[in-house]
Amino acid sequence: MKKPLFKAIIQALLASLVVTIYFLVVAKLDHNDVPWISIISHPNTAKGLLYGFFLFLGHSYLSKWVGNRYPSSKDFGKKMLVFYSISFFLTILVVFIVNAFFSGLFTPNVSQSFSQRFHHFIHQQRVAYYFQTAMVSWCISMIFFGFYFYKRFKDYQIKESQQEKQQITAQFESLKNQLDPHFLFNSLNVLNGLIEENPKKASLFTTDLSKIYRYVLEQKDKSIVPLQEELSFSKAYLNLLSLRFEDSIHINLHISEEENIGFILPLSLQLLIENVVKHNVMSLKRPLLLEIYREADYLYVENNLQKKKILHGNSGIGLKNIQERYAILSNLPVRIQENDGLFSVGLPIIREIVT
């Protein structure tokens, strides 16, 4: 037996015992002349225990289902409405089954068929009794499960507040990564060399560099951006890399116009490309092969592994940052694979903006 089920059964037993003791005390106060043994051994006591056990167990699982169905703190009113609506019918069902059991409906009888016993049982039931029991069950549920829902409501509020803080922190860390001073320093060095060697290339390099930093400043406060915009920006960044490393890097961008649909985290693609360059060696003899392509709902950045022996001390921070940001905005995980001398990262493509 699984521990959660065992724990739920123990809780249901304890709850039904407490409720039954309460009603036994009330019955004793109303019938002071009746001995305790008569009250305890009365069939209604066993019936009350079963009522309490199955109602608590059923409501326990119902509360968890409703809580998972409506997890947001904004759905507190809807959550309570659904819970108590189903609770009413659940109570009637439990009372009906327990009453049927004690009436002998499920006990084989030679003199009566099941349909006859069922017909007789139905005529014995009173609507007022079911309604009264449902009201009592509601009151008890408000005590037991109202507190449970309120606690979960507060927990989700705290969780949402923490997620908001986490997102702000992640965006700040992302911005620090994107404005990497090493990248700017290296770019300016390349630009300085190009000005003397090839002024035309230097002009193109400057144009692409300005596009990159303009895009960074424009997108830094956004949660997601259209995939087409991110790809357009990345092309400028890839052009800059081609001018900087020339034949030491081979870049293949396989994204058609039809695949430009969807949204992506801003600057996440640029950060992955920068990681590839940062963590791998490249030369004319051993060029770095970089491929960017889409498969279904993922955008992949793939490269051949030529790891540098000495890596930066903050290795892995940028990728972790992307994972944290995606965990807030999407149910799809970031896919990271390393095999056969290849390293790839798959970024989930968000199909639509959820407001």
Look up residue 325 and give its amino acid.
Answer: R
pLDDT tens for residues 118-176?
887 788 777 777 777 777 767 766 666 666 666 666 776 677 667 666 665 665 555 55
Instruction: Report helix, strand or coil for 350.
Output: strand
Q: What is the pLDDT of residue 355?
A: 45
Chain centre distance of CA 201:
48
* Mean pLDDT across the chain: 77
Q: Mean pLDDT across the stretch 228-245?
A: 84
- For position 302, what pLDDT does the model report? 94
325-330 contact pairs (CB < 8 A, 24+)? 325/167, 325/170, 325/171, 325/174, 325/265, 325/268, 326/265, 328/163, 328/166, 328/167, 328/170, 329/223, 329/224, 329/265
Predicted pLDDT at 181: 59
Q: Are strands 335-339 and 342-348 parallel, antiparallel or unpaired?
A: antiparallel
212-230 CB burial, b ≥16 within 10 A, e <16: beebbeebeeeebbebbbb
Mean per-residue pLDDT, 215-225? 74
| 202 to 193, 198, 232, 266: CA distances (angstroms) | 8, 6, 20, 27
Of 116-120, 211-215, 218-222, minimum mean pLDDT range: 218-222
pLDDT attached to residue 249: 92
* pLDDT score, position 100: 81
Q: How far apart are CA 93 and CA 62, in angstroms?
A: 14
The more confident residue out of 28 and 60 is: 60
Structure tokens at 59: 């409501």
State the pLDDT at residue 1: 44
Q: Alpha carbon of 33 to those of 21, 22, 38, 41, 311: distances in Å? A: 18, 18, 11, 16, 87
Residues 303, 342: contact at Cβ < 8 Å? Answer: yes
Residue 147: Cβ within 10 Å count: 10
pTM to 2 decimal places: 0.50
pLDDT per residue over 304-325, tens digit each? 998 887 655 555 567 887 888 7
In the numeric block, which tokens belong to residue 53? Answer: 């056990």
Mean pLDDT of 181-185: 61
293 falls in which pLDDT band (50, 70, 90)? very high
**Statement: residue 343 has pLDDT above 80:** yes
Q: What is the dihedral of CA 284, 285, 286, 290, to 10 degrees?
A: 40
Backbone angles phi, psi at 283, to 5 degrees: -160, 175
Among residues 23, 48, 26, 24, the alpha carbon closest in space to that of 37 is found at 24
Who's near 171: CB < 8 A, 6+ residues apart? 220, 221, 325
Q: Which residue has the higher pLDDT, 24 or 264?
A: 264
Task: Flag whether pLDDT at 26 surpasses 60.
Answer: yes
Q: How far apart are alpha carbons 346 and 333 in whole angstroms? A: 9
Structure tokens at 110: 């030679």
**Residue 23 pLDDT greater than 80, yes or no:** no
CA distance linking residue 330 with residue 34, whole number of Å: 65
d(CA 168, CA 162): 10
